[in-house]
Amino acid sequence: MTAKPKLRIYLCAPRGFCAGVVRAIDAVERALQIYGAPVYVRHEIVHNKYVVEGLKAKGAIFVEELSEVPDTDKPVIFSAHGVPKSIPAEAGRRNFLAIDATCPLVTKVHREAQSHHKHNRQVLLVGHAGHPEVVGTLGQLPPGSILLVQTPEDIETLQVADEANLAYVTQTTLSVDDTRQMVDKLHERFPLIVGPQREDICYATTNRQEAVKRIAPFVDALIVVGSSNSSNSQRLKEVGERSGCPISRLVLRAEDVEWDLFRDITTLGITAGASAPEVLVEEIMDAFAERFELEIEIVSTADESVFFPLPRELRPVA
């Protein structure tokens, strides 16, 4: 029997679920416990197909719009990404039991935008068009009150009514380096622009990117466990590429690994996006263990102890 080749795995820490994702998933599971199935969820609660399928199996019904929800006394839950103000208003009109599982760090961005608007500032949002978090933030204010900027070129060509009365907020799951570049460009073009007191990119995004930057220069390949529609997972893959890793792949399950790519590697980095459960990391590591003799080293760049309580409607009565 041929000996398996050796593979050293550098396992990033922290990785996987962040506090906002844990809270959102727990909210759906708790609502199912209290109210029974079905529970309706507007948009994927978090961007991970494995998590969504697991919740469907327990009785959650996912919809893209509230118009798909029948008249019901069952809970209707809003996803961790946040929603435009029109959505809770529609839920109120239909007398739904609405439960908002928006990540508190996204809610912070919404409040910043509302505060700037109250002070008559034009708000610029740094983010990716069409992402549910961006759609939700744009929908906090009247149309035209927030302008989306996606690239440095957008900033160069931007026309605003009053350059002395501007503020910016950012999507929470962007690349830290890209966002720094965008913010520098905003300050260069609009020296009087007002930013957030504490940056909007969430702690989990920053920490996971930092761990990838540490290992990417010296591993043969990097696997980011996560869904293709997960912004923070996509950014981790890009950070790996930019930090010098020759093979950087986003993989949801072990069955998605392109084994030919990894045949000749001797070192591998593994991390997981903030919406990817640890069980998928273990599944992929088990698949590598079938093909290689593993040595595992944990590379830790931060300790995470953040906790967000459940939405008020789901907390146990004292």
Q: Which are the catalytic amino acids?
A: 133
In a domain, 62, yes or no: yes
Residues 11 and 39 in one domain: no
Output the six-digit token pair for 264: 């000749």
In a domain, 307, yes or no: no
Model confidence band, residue 176 (pLDDT cutoffs 50, 70, 90): very high
pLDDT tens-digit series, residues 3-31: 899 999 999 999 999 999 999 999 999 99
In a domain, 149, yes or no: yes
CA–centroid distance for 154 within its chain: 23
CATH of the domain at 86: 3.40.50.11270
Final residue of a domain: which of 147, 167, 189? 189
**Helices 176-189 & 203-215, crossing angle to 10 degrees?**
110
Task: Collapse the DSSP code of 11 into the 3-class scheme (helix H, G, I; strand E, B; otherwise coil) and give the result.
Answer: strand
DSSP one-letter string for 175-241? -HHHHHHHHHHHHHH-TT-B--SS-SS-HHHHHHHHHHHHHGGG-SEEEEES-TT-HHHHHHHHHHH
pLDDT tens-digit series, residues 217-273: 999 999 999 999 999 999 999 999 999 999 999 999 999 999 999 999 999 999 999
Helix residue ranges per DSSP H, the chain: 19-35, 49-58, 86-93, 104-118, 132-138, 152-157, 176-189, 203-215, 231-242, 278-291
In a domain, 315, yes or no: no
Quote the CA–CA distance of 138 and 124 in Å, as a whole number.
Answer: 10
Beta bridge partners of 138: none
DSSP state of 314: G
Sheet holding 6-13, edge to edge: 247-251, 221-225, 267-272, 6-13, 293-300
Residues 81 and 122 in one domain: no
User: Which phi and psi (to 5°) does residue 205 adopt?
Assistant: -60, -50
The whole domain housing 118 covers: 105-189
Quote the CA–CA distance of 51 and 62 in Å, as a whole number.
Answer: 12
Residues 142 and 218 in one domain: no
Residues 183 and 256 in one domain: no
Residues 207 and 287 in one domain: yes
Residues 146 and 216 in one domain: no
Beta bridge partners of 222: 248, 269
Residues 117 and 90 in one domain: no
Query: Average per-residue pLDDT in the chain?
Result: 95
Residues 94 and 122 in one domain: no
pLDDT tens-digit series, residues 110-150: 999 999 999 999 999 999 999 999 999 999 999 989 999 99
How crowded is residue 299: how many other Cβ atoms within 10 Å of its Cβ? 17
Quote the CA–CA distance of 239 and 102 in Å, as a whole number.
Answer: 26
Number of domains in the chain: 3
Residues 270 and 213 in one domain: yes
CATH of the domain at 145: 3.40.1010.20
Mean pLDDT of 92-103: 98
Residues 225 and 295 in one domain: yes
Residues 124 and 96 in one domain: no
In a domain, 150, yes or no: yes
Final residue of a domain: which of 103, 126, 142? 103
Core vs surface per residue 253-289: b (16+ CB within 10 A) or e: ebeebeeeebeebebbbbbbbbbbbeebbebbbebbe
